[in-house]
Amino acid sequence: MKLIRLRTENRLLRQRIDYLEQESSALADRLIKGQVNLAQEAENCMSISHELHKLRDINSDAHRRLEEAYDTIRELSCKKNDGCIDTATQVDDTSMIEHIHALQQELIETHVREADNENSIRDLKQRIQVFVH
C-alpha cells in the first residue's frame, strides 16, 4: 500500500516538474522575444534620432538660405531704386518672390517632418519604457 502511494506521489511530482519546466521555457521564450523587441525598438529610435538630426540640419540650411534670399532682395531693392528703401518694401521681381515661396514651403515641410519624427520618438520611448518595466 505504501509503495502504491509513493509511486502515485512520484508520478504527481514528475508531472509537476514537467509542468514547471514547460512554464519556465515559455517564460524564457517571452523574455527573449521581449529583449529582441526592445533591441529593435532601440535601433528604430536611434534611426529616427539620426533622421531628426538630419532634418534639423536641413531646416537650419533652409532657414539660412531664406535669410540669404531676403538679403538679396534688400540688395536688389537698393540697387534698383538707387538708394536703400525700407526692408518692408515689396519686390516686383516674380522669380525672387517664387524662390522665397519655395523656401518657405520647404521650411514648413521640414517643420512638419520634424514634428512627426518627434512624435515617433516619443511613442518609441513610451514603448521602450513598457518593455523595461
Q: What is the pLDDT of residues 51-104, one digit of tens each?
A: 888 888 888 888 888 888 888 888 887 777 665 545 444 545 667 778 888 888
Q: What is the mean pLDDT of residues 1-15?
A: 93
Of 56, 45, 97, 49, nearest to 73 by C-alpha is 97
User: Is 1.10.3470 the CATH classification of the domain at 2-132?
Assistant: no
Which three three-digit cell numbers place residue 31?
523574455
Nearest CA-CA partner of 127 in 48, 29, 42, 33: 42
Give percent above pLDDT 90 in the chain: 24
Domain boundaries, the chain: 2-132
C-alpha span between 94 and 100 (Å, rounded): 10
- Counting Cα atoms < 13 Å in the Cβ hemisphere of 68 gives 8
